[in-house]
Amino acid sequence: MKLTFSDAVRDHRFSLKCIPHFTDMQRIKDVSISVYPDHITSEDTDSHGNITLFGYTNEYHNFFGFEVNGLAVTGLSDSEKAGELHKVGMYRYQTGITRPGEGIINFYRDIDMTGFSNESKAQIIMEKLSASFKYEQGVTGMSTTAEQAFEGGAGVCQDYAHIMLALCRMEKIPCRYVAGMMMGEGSSHAWVEIWDKNRWLPFDPTNNKIVGDEYIKISCGRDAGDCLVNQGIFIGNVTQTQEINVIVEEVFNESY
C-alpha cells in the first residue's frame, strides 16, 4: 500500500491492520513487513483479534506506505471456532453502516427463511442478494452504507458484505465483516462470516460462494470500519492518493 501526498506532511500517526492472523482456517508463516519512511511501530491485537501495528513518523514526508510478505497455509478447516451465542452479541446488532433502510427492509420482507438454520439462512440470503445486486466499480465509496448501495443496485465486495450483514442481523444472526485477499493480483477483497452453533462460517456474497482455500483473511469486525487497512492522522494541508496492490500466488508444498 502506498499513499502519495500532494505536499509534505509531518507528525504522522498511523494504525495498520494489514497482517493476516492465525485462525483455524489458516496458518501464517514467514511474515516480513516494511513501513516507510522511517518510523517506530508497536504491535497489538484489537478487540476482534486482528493484528494492529501502530506508530508514528515525525519528519516531513511525501509518501507513506508499507509492504507485507508472507506465506499462508490455507484450507485447514472450513470454519473457525466461535464463542457461545452470549459472547458474540456485539456482532448481532446493526452498525451505522449496516443499518437497513426502506429498501433493504422491503427486500428482507420477501425472503422466506422460517425454520432454517443460520447456515441455510445465510445461503438463502447470499443467493437472493447475488441475484439482485450487480458488481460494478466506481459507483460506491468507502463510506457508502448498506442501504445506499442497495438502493443504487450495484457496488463492490464491501457493499455486498455490508448488505448481507444487514440482512443477517435483521434475522438476529451474529455475523462479521471480513477483509482479506483472494488468489490473483489486484485489490483486497471482503466477505462475511456468520455464526452458527459456535462456529464462524465464511460466505462470499460477491462471488456467491462459500469461502475456500483460495482466500486469505486479514481482519474482521462489525463492518468495514473495524478493518481499515490503514488509518492515520498527520499535519499538512494536502490531497492524497492511495494505491493498493495485492498479489496472491499459489505455492504447492505438502510439507507446510
Partner 1 sequence: MTSYTDIFSKKERIEDMEIYAGAADVNEQLARYGVKFGIYKNNEFREQLFPFDMIPRVIDKKEFAYLEKGLKQRVKALNLFIEDIYGDKKIVKDNVVPEEFIYAGSGYLPQCEGIKPPKGIYSHISGIDLVQAKDGEWYILEDNLRIPSGASYPMMARRLSRRSAPDLFAGKHIEDNRNYADLLRRTMDYVNTGGHTVILTPGRYNAAYFEHSYLAEETGAHLVSGSELIVENDHLYFIDYSGRKERVGAVYRRISDEYLDPMNFNKESVIGIPHIFDIYRKGNVALINAPGNGVADDKGIYYFVPKMIRYYLDEEPILNNAPTYLPYYEEDMKYVMDNFDKLVLKDVAEAGGYGVVFGSKMTEDQKKTFKETLRREPRRFIAQEVIDFLDIDIMEKGELLPRKADLRAFVLMADEPMVWKSGLTRFSRNPDSFIVNSSQGGGFKDTWVLSQ
Residue ranges binding partner 1 (CB under 8 A): 13, 15, 40, 42, 44, 46-48, 52, 54, 56, 84, 86-87, 89-90, 92-93, 222, 226, 231, 233
Which of residues 102 and 151 has its CB atom nearest to partner 1 in the complex? 102
* Least distance (Å) between residue 48 CB and partner 1: 8
Quote the CA–CA distance of 164 and 158 in Å, as a whole number. Answer: 10
Enter the C-alpha cell of residue 27.
496458518
Which of residues 97 and 216 has its CB atom nearest to partner 1 in the complex? 97
Residue type, 147: E
* Least distance (Å) between residue 78 CB and partner 1: 26
Which of residues 52 and 240 has its CB atom nearest to partner 1 in the complex? 52
- Strand pairing of 2-16 and 240-243? antiparallel
Quote the CA–CA distance of 33 and 4 in Å, as a whole number. Answer: 19
* Least distance (Å) between residue 45 CB and partner 1: 9
Which of residues 93 and 256 has its CB atom nearest to partner 1 in the complex? 93
Which of residues 13 and 209 has its CB atom nearest to partner 1 in the complex? 13
Question: How many CB atoms within 10 Å of residue 136?
Answer: 13
DSSP secondary structure string, 175-237? EEEEEEEESEEES-EEEEEEEETTEEEEEETTTTEE--TTEEEEEEESSGGGG-SEEEEEE--
Quote the CA–CA distance of 211 and 214 in Å, as a whole number. Answer: 8
* Least distance (Å) between residue 103 CB and partner 1: 21
Give SS3 for 10: strand
* Least distance (Å) between residue 190 CB and partner 1: 19
* Least distance (Å) between residue 194 CB and partner 1: 17
Quote the CA–CA distance of 219 and 198 in Å, as a whole number. Answer: 19
Which of residues 162 and 189 has its CB atom nearest to partner 1 in the complex? 162
